[in-house]
Amino acid sequence: MTARLTAVLWDMDGTLLDSEKLWDIGVRELAIELGGVMTEEIRHALIGASGPNARRILFDGLGIAATPEALTAAGEFLERRVSELMTGPIPWRPGAKDALSFVRGEGLSSALVTNTVRSLTEFGLDTLGRDFFDVSVCGDEVTEGKPEPDPYLRAAELLGVDPRDCVAIEDSPTGAMAAQAAGCGVIVIPCEIPVPDAPGRVFRDSLVGLTRADLESALHARG
């Protein structure tokens, strides 16, 4: 059966909002709090990771024992700090607001799909506007976050659509892997780190000038 474009599934941090820079402050301060030093290798590995995975990556990279108590305390520190940083308007990525409006105008369903926990995602939605999305799925609302397909499969389920009729828009290797594993078409707009080219991935420099033809192309590039 030929796929039919039905919905667009949007990543948040680094795709719609220029919020990875806020996370950068938080994770670097957390590394100092843990008595370590953040390297660029560790920082890049954290981009796009779910909360639990990110904390494990950080602890392993810093050579710190990842006890349950330490992981919990680190998660609480980071959530508290990023909450402070996200209070108030968050900068948009280029073309993102117009792209959201365009998708709405096309009559397509729309979902926000993020590894960020719900409490912090709500700050992002304050800037983005909830009317752009029919549903939202957060990292603490699924069994496994990206790079597993769970967030995208859940979004499609909530929308009542086949994930193969959806195009996901992502900025990270982790997110692109998750979307492809779910069976979605994928448009990649790298932000903080490069994303490897791979079959089925369509690349753009930004969301500026996004068209329906771009979405259709991504859907059918998947094969």
Delimit the domains of the chain by residue range.
7-18+91-221, 20-86
pLDDT in tens, 167-210: 999 999 999 999 999 999 999 999 989 999 999 999 999 999 99
Q: What is the mean pLDDT of residues 55-70?
A: 93
In angstroms, rounded to a whole number, what is the distance separating the alpha carbons of residues 197 and 205?
14
For the chain, give the percent of residues with pLDDT over 70.
99
Q: Which helix (H) or strand (E) holds 173?
A: helix 173-182
In the annotation, is 150 catalytic?
Answer: no
Q: What is the mean pLDDT of residues 56-72?
A: 93
Task: List C-alpha distances in Å: 66 to 7, 53, 93, 115.
Answer: 39, 11, 34, 21
Residue 100 in this model has a pLDDT that exceeds 90: yes
Q: Which helix (H) or strand (E) holds 90?
A: none
Residue 14 in this model has a pLDDT that exceeds 60: yes
Burial label, 182 (beta-carbon count in 10 A; 0-12, 13-18, 19+): buried
The amino acid occupying position 176 is A
Q: What is the pLDDT of residue 209?
A: 97
Query: What is the CATH number that goes with domain 7-18+91-221?
Result: 3.40.50.1000
Task: List C-alpha distances in Å: 15 to 34, 57, 115, 134, 192.
Answer: 29, 22, 12, 18, 10
Q: 52 pLDDT band (50/70/90 cuts)? A: confident
Q: What is the pLDDT of residue 3?
A: 81
Q: Which of 216, 204, 6, 213 is nearest to 96 (CA)?
A: 204
Residue 217 in this model has a pLDDT that exceeds 60: yes
First to last CA, the chain: 12
Q: Do domains 7-18+91-221 and 20-86 have the same CATH topology?
A: no
Of the residues 11, 13, 134, 171, which is catalytic? Answer: 11
Three-state SS for 222? coil
Please report the sign of the dihedral spanned by the C-alpha atoms of residue 32, residue 41, residue 121, residue 69.
negative
The answer regarding whether domain 20-86 maps to CATH 1.10.150 reads: yes
Q: How many helices (H) and strands (E) does the chain have?
A: 9, 6
Which region among 132-141, 149-158, 214-223 has the lowest average model confidence (pLDDT)? 214-223
Q: What is the pTM of this model?
A: 0.91
Q: What is the pLDDT of residue 223?
A: 61
Q: What is the pLDDT of residue 1?
A: 57
What contacts 37, CB < 8 A, 6 or more positions away?
Answer: 31, 62
In angstroms, rounded to a whole number, what is the distance separating the alpha carbons of residues 157 and 25?
34
What contacts 126, CB < 8 A, 6 or more positions away?
Answer: none
Q: What is the pLDDT of residue 12?
A: 97
For the chain, give the percent of residues with pLDDT over 90.
88
Q: Which helix (H) or strand (E) holds 160?
A: none
Q: What is the pLDDT of residue 83?
A: 93
